[in-house]
Amino acid sequence: MARIEIRNVRKEFGAFTAVQSSSFVIEDGEFFMLLGPSGCGKTTTLRMIAGLELPTSGEIFIDGEEVGQRPASQRDIAFVFQMFALYPHLNVRKNIAYPLVSQGMKRAEVRAKVEEAARILGIADILDRPVGGLAGGDRQRVALGRAIVRDPKCFLMDEPLGALDAEFREHMAEELRALHDRMGATTIYVTHDQLEAMQMGDKIVVMNHGVVEQFGVPQEIYDWPATMFVANFIGSPPMNALPFDGALAQGGCAVDLGGARIPVPESLEAASGALALGARPEHVRLSDAAPYRGRVTATEYLGTTQIVTFDTAQGPVKVRAPSDQVVREGETTGLDFDARTLTVFNASTGRALR
């Protein structure tokens, strides 16, 4: 197992900076997600942890030891490459055994380790089958077996489920998480899928344009996004951001939106300038009596809930309402915000005020 610390790590490719000075900590045994849109620097960060890229500056600690400039071979970390990268001419046993055989391990020991890995993954009965004829899930398990068998301190996975269809992907995600819970090894997992990150991760780093936007447990990132980027990237539909100008309403602890007074947390009393009120769709309630008004422009039925889009003085606002609540397009109603769940952002910097 391993505790990994990234301290002020930066990576430049020529004149281009792929990762700006980044810092975060991955605790021993965590299932840790690197999340962000395409090109944000996730893979580069993972490759620096693996030793496949060296940081331009900054330090990487594995269990307290600085390894930033050491090659991959000296880091005791297993990179689960694209899951389907198996040797097609070898059987399952030989595919899993490959890293041990190339280390020169004795045959009896290799056999024991391969059988242990196969048992953990539930593929002991197909060890002598050629990998060529295997179904997707089994191929994936064989690829994992090849990583597990080395008994590394840490697993690194780069979009391992990216090529799978939705249903199978969900199943493999559950298996991966269960496997991690059985083995307990630190796992770092790259994804651009916010739902996958929220479902699987103990902790998440959200990156954008090479910058760490936020680092924390899924619920904290969802409930208290540190930036407007995170508020928008996480959640479906994303957090509403209602722009408003100027100071908080007289008397504090409320903002004035188009004449309607909306209570906000007490800690925001000092806010001023160009601001935005962040509200998750499920934290806005439809209420005839509420002074902030919106006109229904669309409804989207989702089973137990529906997403209702309102046109308001601050632009469109989406509300998640129970699907049995009657809403008609064109009608105007009040929107009630729950002060305890609101985030106020500085609209110029995009950062949340706390």
Site for ligand ATP in 230-269 (CB under 6 A): none
The whole-angstrom separation of Cα 336 and Cα 333 is: 10
Q: Which is nearer to ligand ATP, 56 or 306 (CB)?
A: 56
Q: Which is nearer to ligand ATP, 205 or 241 (CB)?
A: 205
Q: What are 337's strand-pairing partners? A: 284
Q: Taking the complex as a whole, how short is the minimal distance between the CB of residue 157 and ligand ATP, in angstroms?
A: 12
Residue span binding ligand ATP (CB under 6 A) among the ranges 38-46, 89-97, 253-261, 318-326? 38-46
Tally of residues, the chain: 354
Q: What phi, psi does 258 have (nearest 5°)?
A: 50, 40
Q: Which is nearer to ligand ATP, 20 or 43 (CB)?
A: 43
Q: Which is nearer to ligand ATP, 40 or 83 (CB)?
A: 40
DSSP 60-108: EEETTEE-TTS-GGGS-EEEE-STT---TTSBHHHHHHHHHHHTT--HH
Residue span binding ligand ATP (CB under 6 A) among the ranges 41-49, 102-110, 121-129, 263-271? 41-49
DSSP 231-291: HHHSTTTT-EEEEEESSPPTTSSEEEETTEEEE--GGGTT--SEEEEEE-GGGEEE-TT-S
Contact status, residue 201 vs residue 186, Cβ threshold 8 Å: no
Site for ligand ATP in 42-71 (CB under 6 A): 42-44
Q: Taking the complex as a whole, how short is the minimal distance between the CB of residue 33 and ligand ATP, in angstroms?
A: 13
Site for ligand ATP in 100-159 (CB under 6 A): none
Q: Kindly report each contact of residues 70-73 with a partner whose C-beta sits within 8 Å and lies 24 or more positions away, as own/partner.
A: none
Compute how many residues bind ligand ATP; rule: CB under 6 A. 12
Residue span binding ligand ATP (CB under 6 A) among the ranges 13-21, 72-80, 98-106, 124-132? 13-21
Residue span binding ligand ATP (CB under 6 A) among the ranges 35-43, 136-144, 278-286, 305-313? 35-43
Q: Taking the complex as a whole, how short is the minimal distance between the CB of residue 83 and ligand ATP, in angstroms?
A: 15
Residue span binding ligand ATP (CB under 6 A) among the ranges 31-39, 117-125, 131-139, 244-252? 31-39
DSSP state of 224: S
Residue span binding ligand ATP (CB under 6 A) among the ranges 37-45, 83-91, 107-115, 301-309? 37-45
Q: Taking the complex as a whole, how short is the minimal distance between the CB of residue 15 and ligand ATP, in angstroms?
A: 10
* Residue type at position 237: P
Any contact of residue 346 with ligand ATP (CB under 6 A)? no
Contact status, residue 28 vs residue 3, Cβ threshold 8 Å: yes
Site for ligand ATP in 184-213 (CB under 6 A): 192
Q: Which is nearer to ligand ATP, 41 or 55 (CB)?
A: 41
Q: Taking the complex as a whole, how short is the minimal distance between the CB of residue 153 and ligand ATP, in angstroms?
A: 23
Sequence-distant (6+) residues with CB within 8 A of 182 are 120
DSSP 27-69: -TT-EEEEE-STTSSHHHHHHHHHTSS--SEEEEEETTEE-TT
Any contact of residue 36 with ligand ATP (CB under 6 A)? yes
Contact status, residue 39 vs residue 19, Cβ threshold 8 Å: no
Give the one residue of 2, 6, 41, 321 binding ligand ATP; rule: CB under 6 A. 41
Cα angle: 284, vertex 298, 348; to 5 degrees: 55
Helices (H) and strands (E) in the chain, counts: 8, 21
Q: Which is nearer to ligand ATP, 214 or 240 (CB)?
A: 214
Q: Which is nearer to ligand ATP, 16 or 301 (CB)?
A: 16
Specify burial of residue 302 (Cβ count, 10 A radius: 0-12, 13-18, 19+).
exposed
Q: Taking the complex as a whole, how short is the minimal distance between the CB of residue 335 and ligand ATP, in angstroms?
A: 36
Binding site for ligand ATP (CB under 6 A): 13, 16, 18, 36, 38-44, 192
